[in-house]
Structure 1
Amino acid sequence: MSGEPIGTLRRIVERNQVWPVMAAKYGVENPVPPWKTSLDGLCDALDRAACDADVPTFAERRDEEDDLSATVYSSLPYPENQLVALAHSLLARGVITEEELQQRLSAVRARLEA
Structure 2
Amino acid sequence: MADVDGGVVRAMVDRDQVWPKMAAKYGVENPVPPWKTSLDGLCDALDHAACEAPVPSFKERRDEEDALSATVYSDLPYPENQLVSLAHSLLARGILTEDELRQRLSDVRRRLEA
Same fold (TM over 0.5): yes
Paired letter, 1:60: E
Aligned counterpart, 1:66: 66
In the alignment, what sits opposite 2:9? 9
**Equivalent position amino acid for 2:36 in 1:** K
**TM-score, normalised with respect to structure 1:** 0.96
Counterpart CA distance in 1 for 2:74 and 2:5 is 11
User: 1:8, 1:98 within 8 Å by CA — same for their partners in 2?
Assistant: yes
Q: Deviations over 1:85-110 (max 9, x none)?
A: 00100000000110000001011111
SS at match of 2:87: helix
Partner of 1:110: 110
What is the number of equivalent residue pairs in this alignment?
114
- Which residue in 2 is equivalent to 1:75? 75
- Answering whether residue 35 of structure 2 is matched by residue 22 of structure 1, we say no
- Deviation of the 1:112 alpha carbon: 1.1
Paired residues for 1:41-60 under 5 Å:
41-60=41-60
User: What residue identity is the alignment partner of 1:16?
Assistant: D
RMSD: 1.2
Q: Is the contact made by 1:3 and 1:68 (CA closer than 8 Å) also made in structure 2?
A: no
- Given the two structures, how large is their TM-score scaled by the length of structure 2? 0.96
CA contact under 8 A between 1:65 and 1:82: conserved in structure 2? Answer: yes
Q: Quick one: percent identity of the two aligned structures?
A: 77
> What does residue range 28-43 of structure 1 map to in structure 2 within 5 Å?
28-43=28-43
Distance 1:5 1:53 in 2: 20
Runs of 4+ in structure 1 deviating by more than 2 angstroms, as ranges, are 1-5
How far off its partner does 1:2 sit?
A: 4.5
